[in-house]
Amino acid sequence: MAVCTSCQNYYIVWLGATKSSGPQICSSCNTRFLGLQQYTATTIEQAFARGGVSYEMEQAICTRFNVERMPKEFGVPVINRLVYLRRVTEVNAAISYLEAEFKKGGVSVQVGQEIHARLNKFQVPEEFQRPVLDRLARLRTQTEVNAAISYLEAEFKKGGVSVQVGQEIHARLNKFQVPEKSQRPVRDRLARLRTQTEVNAAIAILNTAFENEEDFTQAVQNFWGHLHAHSVPEDLKKPAIDRLAYLRRLLEIRTGKLPVVDVDIHLDSDEYAHFECWAIYIKPTKSMKFVDGTLIGTNKKCYFIADNGPGSMTMDWNNVVEVFQDEVDVDGLDVPINGKHLTVSGPVPALSIRVSRGTGGGDYLVEDPLYLKTMMDTLVRLWKRQLVIYRENKDYGPVPDHVKAAVFQRDGGKCAQCGYEGEYIEYDHRIPRSKGGINTVDNIQLLCRKCNLKKSNRL
């Protein structure tokens, strides 16, 4: 006979049975403990499969084992499995929390501190923490990289990425110890936006000179100087060079050198067209009404030909008081741009025309308001005799004699670089014609043949 250490009841021990070194347990208690062990183990596995073993479950199981006086040989395997799954649960929860925070906008320093505190609170061993800490480090790095790129993009939209902004970015990356390899996308984007900022600044030099009708020759010189000073690569210069060519065309239009285009409408025998483009006329009514059509400008009038039904108008240039660029708010308007029909909403560029009498005044949506404004301004000035066309190609043809004489007198008949004085003297454009230079006294100098060949088309 022996006493069960669990229920304190006597039970029979058969002769010859091996005596256990642990607690003496009767068969009834043995069956009960075995059932509790199996039930608890199954419950733990099911809870883990559903999402994890909670701290509360861990405490409840430990409490029940103490109340039931669960023998070690039954309880320890379950507790060991319980502790392992609790640690894995905390690791998975920490990684899931990190991923969720990253998707929301990024893993901040505070989130990292929360993760460390939680792992320490539940006494997660270092070997279990490693995947969490590795993921934390990667997401923190990516968060700082994304934040740096977003900051660069926002600054660029505000007006450009300055040298100071670049310094702030470098300081922030170093502060948060972002690895050199991970910094590469930020540095590449910074370099690109810094260059684009300088390209935009060069374009702004041209735009300002054009809008204010300042000395464009000086503006072109400043334009090239700015690009060279900031070492803008050739492939990134293209938008700036395209803008220069575009403004050069507009300057020619300003001087009265208007293109002549063929149109399908019937014109007077002494009337010829200078532009034709699609336009959407915004009819000034209580509810905004859009009329699709075509704008045609001739040496006599401006015609708006509606695509369908009534709405066509004719403007005499003598009645046009002002032409200016404006913005109009639209909501889901279909407009043709670069040969494609696009739906636009919000403020869009528009051409506004004010007339003293007659029809045609109002706002027009066109593809290039600045081009049309320049064309219309020139046609109005020509009609009102405010502009006289000089047939001599003073800016871009051969250097006029009066310009040659002024340059020769200014330079004293000598090479401006080496001082040579003789028969091999040539007239050189300081800003080459290929880069926007024109035939003005300020842009032309005397050079000997040797110096001229050496200079070539450089500034």
pLDDT in tens, 259-298: 999 999 999 888 899 999 999 998 877 677 889 999 999 9
Contact 133, 91 (CB under 8 A): no
Closest CA to 411 of 396, 432, 425, 397: 425
Tell me: pLDDT of 6 over 90: no
167-171 average pLDDT score: 93
Q: What angle is formed at CA 452 by the lines to CA 447 and CA 457, rounded to 5 degrees?
A: 125
Please tell me whether residue 234 adopts helix, strand or coil conformation.
helix
| pTM to 2 decimal places | 0.64
Residue 354 has a pLDDT of 95
Between 342 and 79, name the one with better pLDDT. 79
Give how far the C-alpha of residue 174 lies from the chain's centroid of Cα atoms, to the nearest Å: 24
Residue 116 has a pLDDT of 92
Q: Please tell me the distance from the alpha carbon of residue 440 to that of residue 169, in angstroms, as a whole number.
A: 46
Q: Please tell me the distance from the alpha carbon of residue 446 to that of residue 294, in angstroms, as a whole number.
A: 50
Biggest alpha carbon distance in the chain?
A: 138
Residue 391 has a pLDDT of 44
Contact 439, 396 (CB under 8 A): yes
Between 73 and 354, name the one with better pLDDT. 354
Residue 340 has a pLDDT of 66
Tell me: pLDDT of 249 over 70: yes
Residue 21 has a pLDDT of 54
Give how far the C-alpha of residue 201 lies from the chain's centroid of Cα atoms, to the nearest Å: 17
Q: 12: exposed, middle or buried (C-beta count within 10 Å: 0-12, 13-18, 19+)? A: exposed
Between 200 and 459, name the one with better pLDDT. 200
Closest CA to 248 of 431, 380, 406: 431
Over residues 370-423, the pLDDT tens digits come to 999 999 999 999 888 887 554 444 555 678 777 787 788 788 889 999 998 888
Give the DSSP letter of residue 456: T
Contact 183, 173 (CB under 8 A): yes
Tell me: pLDDT of 180 over 60: yes
Give how far the C-alpha of residue 92 lies from the chain's centroid of Cα atoms, to the nearest Å: 36
- Polymer length of the chain: 459
